[in-house]
Amino acid sequence: MSQSFVPVPANSDFPLENLPYAVFSTENNKVHRICVAIGEHVLDLKAVSQLYPFQVQKSLQAETLNELMGLDFEAWDVVRSQTQKLLTKGSELDHNVDLKAVSIVPQSEIKLHLPAQIGDYTDFYSSIHHATNVGIMFRGPDNALMPNWRHLPVGYHGRASSVVVSGTPIRRPLGQTFPDGAEKPVFGACKLLDFELEMAFFIGGKGNQLGEPIRVDEAWKNVFGFTLMNDWSARDIQKWEYVPLGPFTAKNLGTTISPWVVPTAALKPFLLDNFPQEPEVLPYLRQNIPFNFDINLEVSLKPADQNEALISKSNFKHLYWTPLQQIAHHTVTGCNLRPGDLMASGTISGETPDSYGSLLELCWKGTKTLELPGGKTRKFLQDFDEVIIRGHCEKHGLRIGFGECVGQVLPAHPVPQ
C-alpha cells in the first residue's frame, strides 16, 4: 500500500488500509458530514465529493451514512478505492492546496455523531462461551445451553432510539426488581448495572423485499461495516421481567456504539475459518464461505478520579454464529432489512476468565470480586464508572483499529414518590 500524505503515527488505528467512516461536525460548521479517518485527521467526503464518480457523489454529500449504505457493494468498493487514491502522496488532492486545507480536519477539532439513522436494531446471543457461562449460573452445567441454541442464532429486537454514540453518558435506570428473600417486587434504582462487550454491523445494500429471504452465502453483500458496542444491561431488572418474552426495560436504557464504522473490505486480511458448529445446522444456515475475523477486543474500567484498568481481553473469533447466518436467520421468515439497520453480536466471551465480556461473568453473578488498582473493587458498575471498549486487528505489521466505545454511568433520577 502506498503512503498517505496525511501523517499516520505508528500503531495508529487508522492507516490508509482502514479508512473507517463516521459522521462529524465542527464548531464553525454545525452541518453533519460524512468523513473517513486517516491517522489523527479526517477527510471530509462532502468537501471532496466532486472528485468521485457522479453516481456516488450524492451519497457522500448526505448527513448520515444511510444513503451510502443503501448503494451496492460495488459502489462501496468504488468509494473506498477512490478515497485511498485521493489520500495517497502525489494525488490530485495532495496537489490541491486549497481543497486540502478545507477537507483535511484534525480529529481534535471535530464532534462525532451517530453514523447512521438506525431504523431497527437486533441483538443476537452468538457467543457459545458467554451463553454457556450464563446457563451454568442460572441452570447448572447439565442444562447450560437451551435446546435451540446450537440450531439457530438466538436474538431479540432491541430499541433503536436509545442507541447512542460513544461519549454519551448513560443514566442508571429505575425499574422493578424482586430481590432475593423479598415477598413482592420493589421499585428503585438498578443495583446490578453491567456492561456487555459486543460488536455490531450495519446493514447495507439494497436490502430485501418483504417476504424475500436473503441466502446465507449472499448475505455478505448486505454487511456494510463493523463497529464496537457496549449493550448496557440492568441485571436485577432483567431477572424479574424477562419471563416469558425476554429482556425489555433492562436493555432499553442505552446501547453505546463507536462512531467509526470499519468497512468489511478493511477486515479481509484478518479472515478466519468460521467457528466449528456441531451438530450440523439446517441447510438455510450452512455457510460455505469464511466470515469470521481475528479482532482483538478489550474492556477497561475507569472509576471516578482513577486511572483506567484493563479488565477483559476477548476476540470476535469466539462467536459461534456468523453475521451471515444472523442475516439468513433474520430474513428466513421474509423479514425485510433496510440500510442502516444495526445487528449486534451479543456479549463476546472467550474460554478463559480473563476473556469474559461482562461483569456478570467476571464476578460470576456477584460471588467473586474484581480487584482494581488503588484498592478499589467491583462486582457491578457504580455511579461515575466509565467503561472503555477498544478493538483492533493486527497482522504482519498492519493494524486496523475501531477507535473507542466509551460511556460513563450517571446516578439514577430520584425515585418518584
pLDDT string in tens for the chain (417-residue length): 579 999 999 999 999 999 999 999 999 999 999 999 999 999 999 999 999 999 999 999 999 999 999 999 999 999 999 999 999 999 999 999 999 999 999 999 999 999 999 999 999 999 999 999 999 999 999 999 999 999 999 999 999 999 999 999 999 999 999 999 999 999 999 999 999 999 999 999 988 999 999 999 999 999 999 999 999 999 999 999 998 988 899 999 999 999 999 999 999 999 999 999 999 999 999 999 999 999 999 999 999 989 999 999 999 999 999 999 999 999 999 999 999 999 999 999 999 999 999 999 999 999 999 999 989 999 999 999 999 999 999 999 999 999 999 999 999 999 877
**What pLDDT is stored for residue 207 in this prediction?**
85
Report the sign of the C-alpha dihedral through residues 67, 72, 76, 82, in that order: negative
CATH fold group of domain 121-410: Fumarylacetoacetate hydrolase; domain 2 (3.90.850)
Annotated binding site for Ca(2+): 123, 196, 198, 231
What is the rounded end-to-end Cα distance, in angstroms, of the chain? 63
Instruction: Look at the block and give the residue holding cell 477497561.
Output: 300
pLDDT of residue 266: 98
d(CA 109, CA 369): 40
| Structure confidence at residue 415 (pLDDT) | 83
Active-site residue 130, yes or no? yes
**pLDDT for res 1:** 59
Give the residue ranges of the annotated binding site for Mg(2+). Answer: 231, 251, 255
Q: Are 315 and 298 in contact (CB under 8 A)?
A: no
- Extract the annotated binding site for substrate: 125, 139, 238, 242, 347
Give the start-to-end residue ranges of the domains of the chain: 21-113, 121-410
Q: Is it true that domain 21-113 has CATH number 2.30.30.230?
A: yes
Q: Give the three-state DSSP class for 7.
A: coil
Of the listed 32, 95, 113, 130, which one is catalytic? 130
Q: Which helix (H) or strand (E) holds 59?
A: helix 54-60
What contacts 236, CB < 8 A, 6 or more positions away? Answer: 177, 179, 190, 191, 192
- Which residues are annotated binding-site positions? 123, 125, 139, 196, 198, 231, 238, 242, 251, 255, 347
Please state, in angstroms and rounded to a whole number, the distance separating the CA atoms of residues 25 and 123: 29
Instruction: Say how many residues make up the chain.
Output: 417
Please report the pLDDT score of residue 80 as a whole number. Answer: 98
